[in-house]
Amino acid sequence: MKESREASSNFLATIINTDLESGKHDVVVTRFPPEPNGYLHIGHAKSISVNFGLAEQFGGRCNLRFDDTNPEKENQVYIDAIQDDVRWLGYQWNDEVLYASSYFHQLYEWAKWLINQGMAYVCDLSADEAREYRGTLTEPGRNSPYRERTTEENLALLEGMKAGKFDEGSRVLRARIDMASPNINMRDPILYRIRKLHHHQTGNEWCIYPTYDFAHGQEDAIEGITHSICTLEFEDHRPLYEWFLDNLPVPSRPRQYEFARLNVNYTITSKRRLKQLVESGTVSGWDDPRMPTISGMRRRGYTPGSIRTFCDMVGTNRSDGIVDVAMLEHCIRDDLNENAPRAMCVLNPLRLIITNIAEGHVEQVSAPIHPNREEMGQRSLPFSGELLIDRDDFREEANKKFKRLVLGKRVRLRNAYVIEADEVERDDNGEIAAVKCRLIENSLGQDPADGVKPKGVIHWVSAAQASRVEIRLYDRLFNHPAPDRTDEDMMVHINPDSLVTIDEAWLEGGLENVMPETVFQFEREGYFVADRYEYNAERRVFNRVIGLRDSWGEGK
Ligand code: ATP
Ligand code: MG
């Protein structure tokens, strides 16, 4: 696996390198061409990292071009969100943002050019008829009865289509290539459709819109793209991409290269399906922290660096595969383990009373902000006779495997003293309301003098100084490794426990004002980010980014 990954991660770089060395190109120009019909997801992050990454690596340029040829599903909201996402990932496109729609006039001129060459015609077959004429993978198609129209007639009809004289679906402009081609894409593909729709960029100027195939390569040529990198499903379109470039007076000659789409298990990478999750209210929006969108991952607490690392790690190759989501989780965990400041937060509180500390006494203990990075400094933790610990860290009785607090036994309070549990207090329902303990003298940073060592280490906060926070425990959105590849509806595979909220958790004193999007490791609990939108002075919401335990590579 490792070998193929290394070899393949270089295949586009190798091509570019050769083209630069041979003098075929002086500079590499790539583009990232999203259709603004949804938010970008982790698959797009891969494409961004390939296109911007190669331009960066070879000192070239990468354009951000909105592929806005299908106004029906497109929206300015998506245009804005996509730009935010690309910038947040740390990439800067060349010059202004570009739009396929700004080439509509040129494309129209080129459509007329093809008609004049006898290479395009207006076809009046209905969609059903056209399907019938197209043939199948094993049978050739048949020529449309409209294929022999004269140049004048075709030009007039195209003009009429543009002027809005005909109904949607009544006519299309087609290339005149070869209805018997083994490649179905070459069987007189459609160049223009009538769509009487308002366009977010061009308004009501057009009621015919070019197809992806007729637009993409020509846009690349106009922009001087040298390497037009797309995913494998466009491989069969490449002959058509080249046919247009061969037959039109384009200003430059781009080449298309394909690589395999990124698929991640337990994850959906289709805008259409992600949209379904949003529209059905299954998630709170495109940027719900459980969404594999770039904005969702950002809100979840992923860093741009972790996403870029992941995109590098999965490699760039030409064979389809499915990447384990644990690899993505590994990348963010690794980043945060290295960089996130530490803090203590008690999610399920139990009172702990230290009987040999005077009431009202508060002292400060010092703890590293990061255990392995001295340069990050120290934090000062208020310590007192009334603490909160996690309910799961205490048992009245337990066997030796339980390395936390047990009645009659000792435990170390992380960054502070050793304590010994003496008795429990119960409420009216018989539930444990508090644990009474004794502090072992002189045990700060050293073992107790009597030689009785603590069993383990637990986290805590000082009750009076801790501040209340709200916690959202996020987990994978789907509990099936291939939620969109089963016979059932993907909705049946939604993990019902993908969000568990805790209204009252208690964060160590001193962290009352953090900036939204700050990530901490809550020691022994996991990594948590102050929500980008909902963390504020009144309501302090933290999202769990990821737990501490890394499962990547297990079971292999
Ligand atoms: P979706 O299927 O989610 O709608 P798309 O391909 O239709 O995706 P576009 O906006 O057209 O979405 O994609 C922009 C670019 O991102 C294209 O070049 C496309 O090939 C690439 N891309 C989309 N999904 C992936 C993926 N899973 N892995 C790698 N590249 C991808
Ligand atoms: Mg697409």
Tens of pLDDT along 229-238? 999 999 999 9
267-289 mean pLDDT? 97
233 alpha carbon, closest ligand: 1
For residues 421 and 407, give the distance between their C-alpha atoms in angstroms, rounded to a whole number. 5
* Mean pLDDT of the chain, nearest integer: 95
- The catalytic residue among 271, 455, 472, 544 is 271
In the residue annotation, 35 being an active-site residue is answered as yes
Q: Does 455 have pLDDT greater than 90?
A: no
Question: Closest Cα to atom 30, ligand 1: which residue?
Answer: 47
Question: What does the pLDDT read at residue 339?
Answer: 98
Residues at CB less than 6 angstroms from ligand 1: 33-35, 43-44, 46-47, 67, 230-231, 261-262, 269-272
Percent of the chain exceeding pLDDT 90 equals: 96
Residue the block writes with tokens 């760039």: 316
Tell me 70's DSSP state.
-
Fold of 2-259: Rossmann fold (3.40.50)
- CA 35 to centroid of ligand 2, rounded, Å: 6
36 alpha carbon, closest ligand: 1
Torsion sign (Cα): 55, 60, 66, 68: negative
Q: Are 424 and 386 in contact (CB under 8 A)?
A: no
Banded pLDDT at 550 (limits 50, 70, 90): confident
Q: Does 505 have pLDDT greater than 70?
A: yes
What's the pTM value of the predicted model, to 2 decimals? 0.94
Q: Does 18 have pLDDT greater than 70?
A: yes
Residue ranges, CATH 2.40.240.10, the chain: 271-341+469-554, 345-458
Tell me 357's DSSP state.
S
Question: What does the pLDDT read at residue 554?
Answer: 66
320 alpha carbon, closest ligand: 1
78-107 per-position pLDDT tens digit:
999 999 999 999 999 998 999 999 999 999
- The catalytic residue among 261, 436, 438, 524 is 261
Q: Does 552 have pLDDT greater than 80?
A: no
Question: What does the pLDDT read at residue 551?
Answer: 75
121-126 mean pLDDT? 98
The CATH superfamily assigned to 345-458 is Ribosomal Protein L25; Chain P (2.40.240.10)
Q: Does 263 have pLDDT greater than 60?
A: yes
- CA 543 to centroid of ligand 2, rounded, Å: 32
For 376, phi then psi, to 5°, come to -75, -15
Percent of the chain exceeding pLDDT 70 equals: 98
Question: Closest Cα to atom 15, ligand 1: which residue?
Answer: 34
Q: Could you give the 3-state DSSP secondary structure of residue 254?
A: coil
- CA 132 to centroid of ligand 1, rounded, Å: 30
| Nearest Cα to Cα of residue 437 among 425, 455, 456, 423 | 423
Nearest ligand 1 atom, CA 47: 30
Fold of 271-341+469-554: Ribosomal Protein L25; Chain P (2.40.240)
Question: Closest Cα to atom 29, ligand 1: which residue?
Answer: 261
Question: Closest Cα to atom 22, ligand 1: which residue?
Answer: 44
Residue ranges, CATH 3.40.50.620, the chain: 2-259
For residues 328 and 314, give the distance between their C-alpha atoms in angstroms, rounded to a whole number. 9
